[in-house]
Amino acid sequence: MELDLGAVRTFLAVVDDGHFTEAAARVGMSQQAVSKRIARLESDLGVPLLIRSRAGVKPTEDGAAFLPHARALVSLADQAAAMLRARRRPLRIDVLGRDAAPIDMVRAFYEASDVDVDIVVSKGAVSPGTALTDGSVDAAFGRTVGELPRGIERVPACLEPIPILVSRRHRLARRRRVRMAELSGLTAWMPGNARDSEWADYYRLLSAEFGVRIDSSGPFFGRDHIMERVAASPDLITFGNKRQYPVSPGVVEISVTDPMPVYPWSLMWHEANRHPSLPLLIAHAKDRYRPFTTQSQWLPAPDRPLFPADPEPAP
């Protein structure tokens, strides 16, 4: 005996609505067509499934016994269909922002493979753990410190150098690079640093170690406003590069060295995710990762165990 899945769905609609008329409207069929489907299902099973009365419709004893199995059949069918649709859809990747290193990694991955990708820019509005667990995205880039939510896995992806931007009137403006120690006592104005964000924590640790004051006060009116303020001040600096901020003739970018601060990007995914292209992205990230260089780069202490480093040279 082979059951008609459409008839099973119709049976569930009738039971849930309690009337043939409402069930017919839900499944988009005529009441007569619904009755025929139920009659065919009852014939296939060899038992009556529904009791009809003026008050409505309710399951017979056999119908009630069949009900949980009917729901399980439909649920399994829906899961199977969803799994196949997921295998055909683009790989959804949260890059956090379009102006950071992960977008370059994803673009290189896309250009080197035949994988279709869907770029998501959350800007930290949604926790990566939540988005990965509920399937909103297949993979996400971000800074990860401490224990990850259950089921979330990670690999180090890249270390992004962080320069500074200063006014052409600033005493450092003619320099191509500046040592980190020279930034001690300066104020980096960064009003976009949300208090509980992963990047605000990064700059808090940088400030504590090198004496650079991070000022996140004031409303965030956009990056144009930050550039205007920095360009007009002989003292302010901000951390970032010209790809992240609009081009301003009054602002110059300077590399930071000895050590160079680098932002630690991890690639995260949920262990239960079965998108066929996800392993390719993970392999791509592993292949492109370049180890942390302890002698020339800086990472906050909590991040260092997560990012393999070049071996220390022999004394």
pLDDT, one tens digit per residue, over 241-252 is 988 888 889 999
How far apart (Å, rounded) are the C-alpha atoms in residues 59 and 17? 12
**For residues 42 and 48, is the Cβ–Cβ distance under 8 A?**
yes
Q: 285 and 168: one domain?
A: no
Assess if residue 42 is contained within a domain: yes
Number of domains in the chain: 3
What is residue 161's three-state secondary structure?
strand
**Residue 198 in tokens:** 């992963």
Predicted confidence at residue 309, as pLDDT, reads 87
pTM of the model: 0.72
Q: 165 and 155: one domain?
A: no
Assess if residue 173 is contained within a domain: yes
Domain ranges, residue 153: 91-159+264-292
Predicted confidence at residue 298, as pLDDT, reads 97
Burial of 142 (0-12, 13-18, 19+ CB in 10 A): buried
Q: 104 and 253: one domain?
A: no
pLDDT, one tens digit per residue, over 193-238 is 877 788 899 999 999 999 999 999 888 898 999 999 999 999 999 9
Please identify, among 54, 73, 88, the residue that sits at the C-terminal boundary of a domain.
88
How far apart (Å, rounded) are the C-alpha atoms in residues 164 and 216? 16
Mean pLDDT by 10 residues, the chain (315 residues): 86 90 87 90 92 89 93 86 70 92 95 92 81 92 89 96 96 96 95 82 96 91 92 94 88 97 96 93 96 94 91 55
Helices 20-27 & 5-17 angle (0-180, nearest 10): 130
Q: 277 and 256: one domain?
A: no
Instruction: Using alpha carbons only, give the angle 124, 164, 261 rounded to the nearest 5 degrees.
Output: 70
* Strand ranges (E), 83-185: 91-94, 117-120, 139-142, 152-161, 164-167, 177-179
The distance in angstroms from the start CA to the end CA of the chain is 78
pLDDT, one tens digit per residue, over 278-296 is 999 999 999 999 999 999 9
Q: 146 and 171: one domain?
A: no
Assess if residue 315 is contained within a domain: no
CA atoms lying within 13 Å on the CB side of residue 6: 10
CATH of residue 284: 3.40.190.10
Please identify, among 40, 57, 88, the residue that sits at the C-terminal boundary of a domain.
88
Dihedral angle of Cα 85, 86, 88, 94, to the nearest 10 degrees: 140
Predicted confidence at residue 124, as pLDDT, reads 77
Report CA Rg, the chain.
Answer: 29
